[in-house]
Structure 1
Amino acid sequence: MTPRDAEDDNNNRWSDLDRPPLSATALRRAVVREGGLWSDVEVVQRIGSTNSELVSRAAAGKAVEGTVLVAEEQTAGRGRLDRQWTAPPRSGLFFSVLLKPAEVPVARWGWLPLLTGVAVATGLARAAGIDTALKWPNDLLVTVGDEERKTGGILAERAGEDAVVVGVGINVTLRVEELPVPQAGSLALAGAVNTDRDPLLRAVLRSLEDWYGRWRGAGGDPARSGLQETYAAGCSTLGRTVRAELPGDRSLVGEAVAIDGDGRLVLATADGVQEPVGAGDIVHLRPA
């Protein structure tokens, strides 16, 4: 980068006063502490994908547990099934964290995206004063007007044998004309009392540290840690008739009645069978 490029980049960071840049120094001072989970916070201006970068670093032994990588802009952000996630610079929170839950059996690691959803919803309730609902398995929903809209998502990926990278994307200040699709939303459009990304990120990271500690301390047991009950209480999918788009071009329609001990969504079908769904897209067919 030339000096002129660097100067232009710095000016562009302040081009929208409603979207001030994040300070890695301030964030580290707020969340990194001795004996805590978070070991470092790095903020980059532009990156392809925070998840891809952190997975790569972990595989190369260049990142430790508790590393937080935050991007002001992602050019190749990904959701589940490699769906693209794009948003204007500094309009949201786009970050990934590296976790190494050695005390937890690998079979229970599937709870990590659900745990992250609970942590994000809890943190946003405190810092933004907004109710965030959870759509199984990894979507964050807010109400805009009288319509439920997706404002965020979670993506968990294995990073070698002993680690998981969990990525979070949250639309914070997206305006109507900036929405990628009409069904999308943002905290600002949902009436959040605070859209300052710094305190929002601090609140989410502290909540994630708390829930991760409870879950890890319980050996990953979702019932004993309180995770299963809390997730079910905040899950807007439960009580609805839904269609599950399953691998192999299969679909299943039923009422979502429970989240089981493996984090799967249990559907009660019209023929009286209860079938757990562990992977797939869920379409809400009617309001709860």
Structure 2
Amino acid sequence: MTPSDASGGAPSGAGDSRWSSLERPPLNAAALERALVVDGGLWSSVEVVAATGSTNTDLAARAAQLPEGAVLVAEEQSAGRGRLDRSWVAPARSGLFFSVLLKPGEGVPQERWGWLTLLAGVAAVTGLSRAAGVDTALKWPNDLLITVDGEERKTGGILAERVPGGGIVIGIGLNVTLTEDELPVPEAGSLLLAKAAVTDREPLLKAVLRSLERWYGDWRAAGGDPAASGLQEAYAANCVTLGRHVRADLPGGRTLTGTAEAVDADGRLVVRSAEDRHEAVGAGDVVHLRSVR
């Protein structure tokens, strides 16, 4: 990893086209740290690196030596990872690619830690909706959706991984200024394509981290209880999967088709099949279907 200049300016070798685009300026690490690392706050450090393979991998490797609240941001990722071993790659400085280290501690039973992925989703959509001026929604469990020309598209994703020492690293990837020609797949989108009012990455990153700090604080204060903290209700309100006809591709090659009706107390998606049976889905790939088949 090569850290970016602490002042936020271009590193040596600024002739490199990755760093010369005025439309995609580098993040100002010093300004982010001043804004986010405050007395009594959650965030303990903010590090910005020019490029790395995966911020989740890097932060996980150092988690045992770091305090809770460490934030690692990369201007570019070459081996970003999503759920089900999917890759996440985008042009340099075209999005937000960052990971945070959380250590809920003994005050939150470990069986409730699974809610942290969903919590990060709620924090992202609420923070982005305010800061970017564009509606953002959730597809269960952790996809961030926006609307581009009337079509639902994925603009971001979340990956949470447990690390040694009683912590969890949560990685968030968000497409900000990708153009149509730069999208990895036609189903992807970006805040720019959704005509967001703000595509400056610094206020967007600050908004998401501040929202994450608030939701995490409420959840931890409630002992990880998703109902008492308001998290379960907020997730349901922002999840466009609910009420939709879906297909869930489950581990072992099994497929479940039906209507997504709720998110239960364990964060699982409750699907009602055509036979009127209810099944809670905790893992798998969920596809939104356009109509009942």
Q: TM-score, normalised by structure 2?
A: 0.94
Number of aligned pairs? 283
Which amino acid in the other structure matches residue 99 of structure 2? S
* Correspondent of 1:82 among 81, 85, 88: 85
Q: Which residue of 1 is the match for residue 59 of structure 2?
A: 54
Deviation at 1:14, TM superposition (A): 3.6
- CA, structure 1 residues 153+85, in 2 after alignment: closer, same or farther (shift >3 Å)? same
Deviation at 1:126, TM superposition (A): 1.1
Q: Determine whether 1:43 maps to 2:48.
A: yes
Q: Distance in 2 between matches of 1:13 and 1:23?
A: 16
Q: Distance in 2 between matches of 1:35 and 1:196?
A: 27
Q: Distance in 2 between matches of 1:153 and 1:122?
A: 15
**1:95-116 Cα deviation digits (max 9, x unpaired):** 0000000121000000001000
Asked whether the equivalents of residues 71 and 98 of structure 2 are also in contact (C-alpha less than 8 Å), the reply is: yes
Q: Distance in 2 between matches of 1:135 and 1:28?
A: 31
Asked whether the equivalents of residues 13 and 20 of structure 1 are also in contact (C-alpha less than 8 Å), the reply is: no
Q: Which residue of 2 is the match for residue 20 of structure 1?
A: 25
Q: Distance in 2 between matches of 1:128 and 1:169?
A: 16
SS of the aligned residue for 1:94 comes to strand
**1:134-192 Cα deviation digits (max 9, x unpaired):** 00001000000010000000000001151000000000000010000000000000010
Deviation at 1:240, TM superposition (A): 0.4
Q: Distance in 2 between matches of 1:287 and 1:127?
A: 34
* Correspondent of 2:194 among 190, 194, 197: 190
- CA, structure 1 residues 162+15, in 2 after alignment: closer, same or farther (shift >3 Å)? same
Q: Which residue of 2 is the match for residue 227 of structure 1?
A: 231
Deviation at 1:82, TM superposition (A): 1.3
Moved over 6 A (4+): none
Q: Which residue of 2 is the match for residue 217 of structure 1?
A: 221
Q: Distance in 2 between matches of 1:261 and 1:126?
A: 27
Q: Determine whether 1:199 maps to 2:203.
A: yes
The 5 Å alignment of 1:113-262 reads: 113-262=117-266
Asked whether the equivalents of residues 37 and 43 of structure 2 are also in contact (C-alpha less than 8 Å), the reply is: yes
Which amino acid in the other structure matches residue 51 of structure 2? R
Which amino acid in the other structure matches residue 49 of structure 1? S
Q: Distance in 2 between matches of 1:163 and 1:36?
A: 18
Q: Distance in 2 between matches of 1:158 and 1:254?
A: 31
Identity of aligned residues (%): 67
SS of the aligned residue for 2:65 comes to coil
* Correspondent of 1:71 among 74, 96, 107: 74
Asked whether the equivalents of residues 160 and 171 of structure 2 are also in contact (C-alpha less than 8 Å), the reply is: yes
Deviation at 1:249, TM superposition (A): 0.6
* Correspondent of 1:99 among 97, 102, 106: 102
Asked whether the equivalents of residues 13 and 21 of structure 1 are also in contact (C-alpha less than 8 Å), the reply is: no
SS of the aligned residue for 1:112 comes to helix
Cα RMSD (Å): 1.5
Which amino acid in the other structure matches residue 239 of structure 2? C
